[in-house]
Structure 1
Amino acid sequence: MSEIEPMDSKSERNGPEEHNWHAADIGDTLAEFDVRKESGLTDDEAQDRLKRYGPNQLRVAESRPWWRILLEQFHSIVIYLLGGAAVLAFATGRLPEGFAVLAVLLVNTAIGFVSEWKAVRSMAALRRLGEHMTRVRREGSEREIAASDIVPGDIVLLEAGDLVPADLRLIEAEHLRVNEAPLTGESVPVSKLTDTLAADTDLADRNNMLYKGTSIADGTAAGAAVATGSETELGRVSALAESAEGTVTPLQQRLDQLGRRLAILTIFIAIVVAAVGFLLREQQAALVIETALALGVAAIPEGLPIVATIALARGMYLMAARNALVNQLTAVETLGATRVIFSDKTGTLTENRMRLQKIVTPIDELVLEEPGAGEALADKEGVRRVLEVGVLCNGASLEEQQGEDNPRGDPTEVALLAGGKDLGLERESLLEDRPEARVEQFEPRLKKMATFHQDEGQYYVAVKGAPDAVLDVCSEILTNKGTEPLDDETRQQWVERASQLAGEGLRLLAMAEKRADTKDADPYEDLCFLGLAGLLDPPREKVKEAIDICQAAGIRVEMVTGDQAETATAIARAVGIVGGKDDPETVSMLGRDIGSPDDIDEDRQDKIYRANIFARVSPEQKLDLVTIYQNRGEIVAMTGDGVNDAPALKKADIGIAMGKRGTEAAKQVADMVLKDDAFETIVAAVRQGRVIFGNIRKSVVFMLTTNVAEVLAVTIAIGAGWPLPLLPLQILYLNVLTDVFPALALGLGPASGNEMEDPPRSPRESVLTRAHWTEITGFAALLAVCVLSALLLADHWLGLTEREAVTVSFLTLAFGKLWFTFALRNPKSSILLNEITRNPWVWGALALCIVLLAAAVYLPVLSGLLQTRPLGWQPWLLLLAMSVIPLLAGQIVREIQRHRRPE
């Protein structure tokens, strides 16, 4: 090839055209890449291929730059309206009004930018990708090179503990087992061979292939690199994640919807007020324009962006304190609206660590979780002998470093050693009595392993392996009388017993033993069957309680895993996703039965919605599952830690990755990362999300009620020819200062404690429902009447000047707003003790606002700017009496609602 092909050419970028390498034999694979397994590539060939195919690296998604985060703070219809109002104010020479609105915009932008920029920096710290080295054969010798320098055709050499650097077709494998959980979700290591497989073999069953991102659990291997970089299975999943479209969060949708309504309302109000002022009362054009501008701004809750941003930022802070790192502010609120949580199994619901769970023998059995299991071991001869075989026939170790166990080796063997240690049988002590003389490593074809131990002039042979494989080579069985011949009927009974235990989600190992005169004897003949050891990747602590809370709150928790259906169902029962074995609500479905969202029929939809366990699910199927539920209108959260979870994490309304066990691919696309990997942290986030939405709703009701009251009062006064109860700058003073602080205090309110007792709100429910708009209209009208009544009484009854009377109406509205805060309590709570009165932020906001109102009247510079006048005791009594009326009415309404609520 004389010229290098462009980098966007798939076949010339990362490897030869797509090929089912698992279906190709070793000779054909090596010939395809023109490489000899004994010598590998030459240096010249490797350099040429590196230039042609590019480095063996995945494309890492870039973090959002600071300037994009800054621009995103302005992406809101409410911000657009405020910006337009500021421009109009400056254009008409109303500098104080313009600067007031501009200050709101700048404060909101600064808060949102700082919060999200800190989150992005924290996420970047989690995404550090370290380069690692790997061994290859080149020029006839072994070399250690950077994994990024591997090219298609390289002969890669691996051993226990190594990361697989590229997709490899195995050409040599000795006792090889691989941890594929990051890619397939399989919870236990998979045995690997070099045999050629059928072309239609599923990814999880391609046991002659090694895939980038997995790791070697045991044994050694040599493989030919058949795909590197983005052409690997890992790269394909990463590309799938990039192509998955993210969704707009519910809060963004609702606030934008409210903003559009307010935009229409603002324009309508400005036109009406201007028309009334010009046509009906023939007032001064300058005053009418100023008033129309002020009322237009008054109709917009200027504090809403600030309140929403700070409420979400505080939620982000509280989540960080609970080990949940949130990538975007709105992700916290989104969890509060979640109706379905798709949870991965391995490492999310379970510990991703095998444990010895049960030992069953022909003469006794032991469940290790039962109290007193260790004391009972001395009385259980069969259990003790099974456990001795499991500890002796073992290639793992429980090394201790700095006082803590540091296990190494196959997870099932580590679990056997740990179980033996817990029950007083340690390998070192057993080996002192029976020194090891020979080891027959685990052979995938035979599915067995054996060790020989010196024992009183003979050799004790310990054998463990798959139940069917071990039973096939046993001629005797342990009984209470010693041993008896093992007949076919009894052998079949134990095969069925093993199948029954496997249905409980246990990984079964059969144990057998015999005596031999020489260590060269065949280990796999004339064995005595001792029993079965059942191991399990146990549920994480407290995860059942967390799932129970979710279900009580109307949130469906469903398991989506690449593991086997039996294992998934057992864990689902253990953590409470489904009930007992005969629970009719337990419905499992295989990934291949999900189907494409584009051509799914109604019958299959019903089956999917009824299922609560999805097993053997591929990355594409996880993505399809999320899409199917979103098409139904559900708000979907997806948890996961593996590469195979990344596409669905991105597509979900909220993606939740595990911080400790999670892969970089999962963390990069997630909206939230659980630093402690604890499922219960999700419950805390859901609760906080519901609290935040409820608080924002209260703030919006507060601001709109008081703003509409301003609009009604001024519009009625203009129409009736009365003095304006509020001057333009007075309106802005109230909205920008005395509105924002109480609204912000409401937005920071504490949880009431009963957030998780109600079902999730409807995805179609807006920030304000019809009931909220009814309340806003009613209370706003009452507050407007009180303001106008105070104005007229101050003018005609107390005989105050026009400026003094306007000061009375101004303060009536201001204090009416402050007292109205207490009317926004939850109807479930009492008048004196509720989430408002227990909120210290509310009391601080009221104190600050009272000081600001006093300054507006008695501070000469500010009083002159706002055109207010000092008042005597009679006007103060009048305005305070009128301002408390909306509060009393609100409390009466809340008490009526409280007593009408069903128990």
Structure 2
Amino acid sequence: MDHNYHAMEATAALEALGTSVAGLSDDEAASRFQSYGPNRLPQAPKRSLFLRFLSHFHNILIYVLLGAAVITLVLDHYFDAAVIVAVVIANAVIGFIQEGKAEKAMESIRRMLAPHAAVLRDGERRSIDGEALVPGDIVLLEAGDKVPADLRLIRAHGLQIQEAILTGESVPVEKTAEPVTADISLGDRLCMAFSGTLVTSGQGRGVVVATGAGSEIGRISGMLAAVEVLTTPLVRQMNVFAKWLTVLILLIAAVLLVFGYFVEHHDFTEMFMAVVGLSVAAIPEGLPAVLTITLAVGVQAMARRHAIVRRLPAIETLGSVSVICTDKTGTLTRNEMMVASIAVAGQVFSLEGDGYAPDGAVKLADIPVRGLDHIDLADLARAAASCNDASLHRRDGFWAVEGDPMEGALLAMAGKIGVEVRQELSGRTQSDTIPFDAKHRFMATLHHDHPDHADIFVKGAPEQVFAMCANQRGGSGGVAAFNEAHWRQVAEDIAAGGQRVLAIATREVAREQMVLHLSDVQGALTLLGLVGLMDPPRAEAIEAVAECREAGIRVKMITGDHARTASAIARLIGLDNSEKVLTGTDLDGMDDAQLAAAVLNTDVFARTNPEHKLRLVMAFQSQGITVAMTGDGVNDAPALKRADAGIAMGRKGSEAAKEAAEFVLADDNFASIVSAVREGRTVYDNIKKVISWTLPTNAGEAMTIVVALLFGLTLPVTPIQILWINLITAVTLGMALAFEPTEENTMRRPPRPRQEPLLTGGLLWHIVLVSVLFLGDVFGIFTYALDRGYSIDLARTMAMNTLVVMEIFHLFFIRNIYGASLTWKAVRGTRVVWATVIAIVMAQFAITYLPPMQRLFATEAVPVFDGILIIGVGVALFAIIEVEKQLRLSVPRWRR
């Protein structure tokens, strides 16, 4: 920082930055943005495109192929060497393109996760992108926020900030607005909030003094920069598999080379080229790249469904999730709180309306009334609007809330009753506040009006507020002794209707009092009444819960709401066992073994805190259950980190929760969680399809060469033709499977077991079956051609085309590994599949019928009848493996 703002008084810092407590104007903020630029850290220098491209040649497989190309070149097989090099370059180009797409995907994710900031502009609270902050902006801080820039605090109420990333101090630091000495160390600058640190409790306001690279975190960004590595355990496993497979194939190739040269006495050059063909045919050189592309496609598909993937290994985990633990508010419900009922002395009013619009009917016993005609109702509305940090704005014809949705609903309620909120607030000055905290579960504000009255307004959980009340409104503005039993019954009746209950209370104090203490609200309040807020369930959440049930996934609601409220909402969205509710108190009375047994048959947990969430996750995992957990608060981070799949809320979630989670929901919608599970299963299915297509086809190609060399037979396909097949089909057809859509029965299958291996016994059997069929069909066509008196070149051309045709038909079989492949939808395929098939067919026609290609690859034109026969071989292969699949699927699961 250019100035020691921490040594200045708050007012002096505001003056030095040319701003005020009302914040900057829009014009001034725009002007400063042009001068200072966006509030973001400079990106680390990237490798050049050339170096990125060269890095894709750095693995054992490429070294083997390049070595083969060099030896082939020395043996004067120039075209063979050129084709091998073409295979290597094609693989590198695909990896290079994929890496570029992955970097773009991760960059878009970083943009989507960029923090927003609540600021004052022209005296109004606004929510803006963190990058739009400029020096002089007034930023509002609340528990759970990540500080978006370096701030000089001008107000702090119980504000504590975790600064470990800057100071290494693990304990949160209590902040104050008082200045400190100019030479004090960074960790002792108690009046400063630094960019990137986390607010753990309390509230505060601060003026931006430094942004982007000028902030403290900007100065050390080089040390803190961390790049998300786009890899997964699966990809690493397949890389290791490919390396060992390469070693095995090289050993086999060496044995065959020695056997063919010394035992069969073949020409060394001929044998070496055959061994090169075997190596290229058997090594799945494109498999790791195609697997990573499949995962990248899944990331983009999930992003379209509003589920942002922060850590790719979680995609695999989603396929085995069998329990989803979810919050209620904003996830299962719309998070558009609306006051549905108000209870004052002897009367219960109902309210109607839409969202946060301050318009709607107020009814008493189903008869519309004028709210201001009822003094107790009007006083409650004024108190609720005063004890409030939110604001309502009409934008594009819709009312939206800045701040807490519940507080926005209270403002809308006041408008429906007839209280002019702006006029009411302008007539009072808020002198002090006790912000809401989970520990004491209420908020209190101290106000002074122009006639010099001083009032405390309190809102909070009924149980907490009741404990602080000595009196209650007795009707028409009168006061009576507080009847706790009566109001507890009223609260339970409201909660039974699925409504969240708030108690509103007040107290008049001496006009000289300007500071609010906890002792001021203990045992001296007058209860004004109760408010029932309804957050209606999302229609799509009801459908998503039903879809989860079909998929064998249990949905567990974990909420801090009243038990009756939780039960009512659970009943509306269709949860099992909605009547059975365990509260936080119940959980505290259970040991770990009792809790592990109880969670299996309980779907609703109410009055819970973040510590209970962590215990519930561990309880499910102790039963061998793969669990996904949603969360939005700082204290949810341990549960999100412990869960198999942590899911943070993108809109209402704290930055701490997002950093701990593997997924972020951009729309905070439960239906997006189910969509993410569906996409996760699809990605896993497509990975399985890629492997199930690649390994059998590579094995089939390799076995034709191995059998020919072992038994001294004429090679049915030349090495150069094998190289061509791999260049054209090995990566392209496999890559087409990365874009496969979700199969119809995907969400009707139970979750896959957590430890299910990718290379199952079923897949190994499929590899053997397809390899044998490939071997028999290739030699069958080759022998048929020779028996007809065709030349060796034509026989090999037919064998090569047979291989390609079988790979295409095998692709259509693999597209539907869990269902029937002989359906119109299955045959219709996707655009990517048909575009790939058409391209390969055109390439095969070119190599078969164009004279220049015939000379290069030693091919001849295939007669029409024999071409139809080759297609028939592909049909026969498809029919055999499809019938085998249907027989296997028809066997009862307990017999498999």
Alignment of 1:436-447 (within 5 A): none
Once the two structures are superposed, residues 434-469 of structure 1 have per-residue CA deviations (whole angstroms, 9 ceiling, x without a partner) of 9998889787599777999999xxx99997656575
Please give the alpha-carbon distance, in whole angstroms, between the structure 1 residues aligned to 2:192 and 2:610. 19
Indicate how the Cα distance of structure 1 residues 367 and 381 shifts in structure 2: closer, same or farther if over 3 A, else same: closer
Q: Secondary structure at the match of 2:704?
A: helix
Please give the alpha-carbon distance, in whole angstroms, between the structure 2 residues aligned to 1:609 and 1:675. 30
Establish whether residue 583 from structure 1 lines up as the match of residue 575 from structure 2: no
**Uncovered stretches (5+) of structure 1, i.e. residues with no partner:** 1-32, 44-58, 135-146, 151-156, 184-191, 195-207, 224-231, 515-521, 595-600
Match of 2:61 among 81, 86, 90: 81
Once the two structures are superposed, residues 753-801 of structure 1 have per-residue CA deviations (whole angstroms, 9 ceiling, x without a partner) of 3211112222322333211211221122022111112212222x21222
Deviates more, 1:67-76 or 1:372-381: 67-76
Q: Secondary structure at the match of 2:502?
A: strand
Match of 2:269 among 280, 286, 292: 286
Establish whether residue 491 from structure 1 lines up as the match of residue 481 from structure 2: no
Once the two structures are superposed, residues 147-190 of structure 1 have per-residue CA deviations (whole angstroms, 9 ceiling, x without a partner) of 9999xxxxxx998999989999x9998xx69899999xxxxxxx
Indicate how the Cα distance of structure 1 residues 822 and 391 shifts in structure 2: closer, same or farther if over 3 A, else same: same
Displacement after TM superposition at 1:867 (Å) = 1.8
Please give the alpha-carbon distance, in whole angstroms, between the structure 1 residues aligned to 2:653 and 2:738. 33
Establish whether residue 506 from structure 1 lines up as the match of residue 500 from structure 2: yes
Establish whether residue 321 from structure 1 lines up as the match of residue 288 from structure 2: no
Establish whether residue 829 from structure 1 lines up as the match of residue 820 from structure 2: yes
Equivalent residue number for residue 85 of structure 2? 99
Q: Which has the higher contact order (CA 8 A, sep 6+)?
A: 1
Indicate how the Cα distance of structure 1 residues 181 and 724 shifts in structure 2: closer, same or farther if over 3 A, else same: same
Establish whether residue 297 from structure 1 lines up as the match of residue 280 from structure 2: yes
Q: Secondary structure at the match of 1:799?
A: coil
Equivalent residue number for residue 807 of structure 2? 817
Displacement after TM superposition at 1:255 (Å) = 2.7
Indicate how the Cα distance of structure 1 residues 615 and 843 shifts in structure 2: closer, same or farther if over 3 A, else same: same
Please give the alpha-carbon distance, in whole angstroms, between the structure 2 residues aligned to 1:568 and 1:244. 43
Displacement after TM superposition at 1:526 (Å) = 12
Q: Secondary structure at the match of 1:800?
A: coil
Alignment of 1:149-228 (within 5 A): none
Please give the alpha-carbon distance, in whole angstroms, between the structure 2 residues aligned to 1:70 and 1:651. 41
Match of 2:420 among 425, 428, 440: 428
Deviates more, 1:705-714 or 1:378-387: 378-387
Establish whether residue 715 from structure 1 lines up as the match of residue 695 from structure 2: no
Equivalent residue number for residue 15 of structure 1? none
Please give the alpha-carbon distance, in whole angstroms, between the structure 2 residues aligned to 1:63 and 1:523. 51
CA contact (8 A) 1:650 1:669 kept: yes
Match of 2:716 among 725, 742, 747: 725
CA contact (8 A) 1:591 1:615 kept: no
Residues paired across the two proteins, number: 786
Equivalent residue number for residue 415 of structure 1? 409
User: What is the letter of the counterpart of residue 532 of structure 1?
Assistant: L
Match of 1:616 among 596, 599, 609: 609
Displacement after TM superposition at 1:505 (Å) = 7.5
Please give the alpha-carbon distance, in whole angstroms, between the structure 1 residues aligned to 2:64 and 2:558. 48
User: What is the letter of the counterpart of residue 316 of structure 1?
Assistant: V
Please give the alpha-carbon distance, in whole angstroms, between the structure 1 residues aligned to 2:639 and 2:521. 48
Q: Secondary structure at the match of 2:860?
A: coil
Once the two structures are superposed, residues 328-386 of structure 1 have per-residue CA deviations (whole angstroms, 9 ceiling, x without a partner) of 76665554444455556666556666542433356453565799975666638899665
Equivalent residue number for residue 546 of structure 1? 544
Deviates more, 1:862-871 or 1:502-511: 502-511
Equivalent residue number for residue 789 of structure 2? 799
Query: If the length of structure 2 is used for normalisation, what is the TM-score?
Result: 0.69
Indicate how the Cα distance of structure 1 residues 469 and 316 shifts in structure 2: closer, same or farther if over 3 A, else same: closer
Indicate how the Cα distance of structure 1 residues 755 and 500 shifts in structure 2: closer, same or farther if over 3 A, else same: same
Please give the alpha-carbon distance, in whole angstroms, between the structure 2 residues aligned to 1:686 and 1:887. 31
Q: Secondary structure at the match of 2:531?
A: strand
Please give the alpha-carbon distance, in whole angstroms, between the structure 2 residues aligned to 1:593 and 1:545. 33
Once the two structures are superposed, residues 848-882 of structure 1 have per-residue CA deviations (whole angstroms, 9 ceiling, x without a partner) of 22221121122233222222223334544554444
Please give the alpha-carbon distance, in whole angstroms, between the structure 2 residues aligned to 1:250 and 1:827. 24
**Uncovered stretches (5+) of structure 2, i.e. residues with no partner:** 1-5, 17-38, 74-79, 121-132, 165-173, 177-189, 208-215, 355-359, 436-441, 509-519
CA contact (8 A) 1:513 1:530 kept: no
CA contact (8 A) 1:382 1:530 kept: no
Indicate how the Cα distance of structure 1 residues 469 and 579 shifts in structure 2: closer, same or farther if over 3 A, else same: same
CA contact (8 A) 1:390 1:464 kept: no
CA contact (8 A) 2:629 2:639 kept: yes
Establish whether residue 111 from structure 1 lines up as the match of residue 103 from structure 2: no
Displacement after TM superposition at 1:883 (Å) = 3.9
Displacement after TM superposition at 1:707 (Å) = 1.8
Please give the alpha-carbon distance, in whole angstroms, between the structure 2 residues aligned to 1:496 and 1:68. 70
Once the two structures are superposed, residues 80-137 of structure 1 have per-residue CA deviations (whole angstroms, 9 ceiling, x without a partner) of 4244333333344351343133123212222221111212332343465799999xxx
Displacement after TM superposition at 1:296 (Å) = 2.2
CA contact (8 A) 2:610 2:635 kept: no
Match of 2:532 among 531, 534, 537: 534
User: What is the letter of the counterpart of residue 356 of structure 1?
Assistant: V
CA contact (8 A) 1:96 1:729 kept: no
Alignment of 1:739-758 (within 5 A): 739-758=730-749
Equivalent residue number for residue 257 of structure 2? 274
Equivalent residue number for residue 573 of structure 1? 570
Displacement after TM superposition at 1:847 (Å) = 2.3
Indicate how the Cα distance of structure 1 residues 258 and 550 shifts in structure 2: closer, same or farther if over 3 A, else same: farther
Equivalent residue number for residue 25 of structure 2? none
Equivalent residue number for residue 680 of structure 2? 689
User: What is the letter of the counterpart of residue 493 of structure 1?
Assistant: H
Match of 1:311 among 291, 294, 300: 294
Match of 2:833 among 833, 838, 842: 842
Equivalent residue number for residue 787 of structure 1? 778
CA contact (8 A) 2:414 2:420 kept: no
Equivalent residue number for residue 853 of structure 1? 844
Indicate how the Cα distance of structure 1 residues 115 and 630 shifts in structure 2: closer, same or farther if over 3 A, else same: farther
Displacement after TM superposition at 1:813 (Å) = 1.9
Once the two structures are superposed, residues 242-292 of structure 1 have per-residue CA deviations (whole angstroms, 9 ceiling, x without a partner) of 999999735325534643563354235324533542454232222222222
Q: Secondary structure at the match of 1:360?
A: strand
User: What is the letter of the counterpart of residue 118 of structure 1?
Assistant: K
Displacement after TM superposition at 1:688 (Å) = 2.2
CA contact (8 A) 1:323 1:674 kept: yes
Displacement after TM superposition at 1:832 (Å) = 3.3
Indicate how the Cα distance of structure 1 residues 402 and 788 shifts in structure 2: closer, same or farther if over 3 A, else same: closer
User: What is the letter of the counterpart of residue 554 of structure 1?
Assistant: G
Once the two structures are superposed, residues 195-218 of structure 1 have per-residue CA deviations (whole angstroms, 9 ceiling, x without a partner) of xxxxxxxxxxxxx99998788999
Please give the alpha-carbon distance, in whole angstroms, between the structure 2 residues aligned to 1:665 and 1:307. 34
Indicate how the Cα distance of structure 1 residues 513 and 425 shifts in structure 2: closer, same or farther if over 3 A, else same: farther
Equivalent residue number for residue 52 of structure 1? none
Query: If the length of structure 1 is used for normalisation, what is the TM-score?
Result: 0.68
Q: Secondary structure at the match of 2:751?
A: coil
Displacement after TM superposition at 1:691 (Å) = 1.9
Equivalent residue number for residue 90 of structure 1? 70
Pairwise CA RMSD = 6.3
Displacement after TM superposition at 1:727 (Å) = 1.1
Displacement after TM superposition at 1:387 (Å) = 3.8
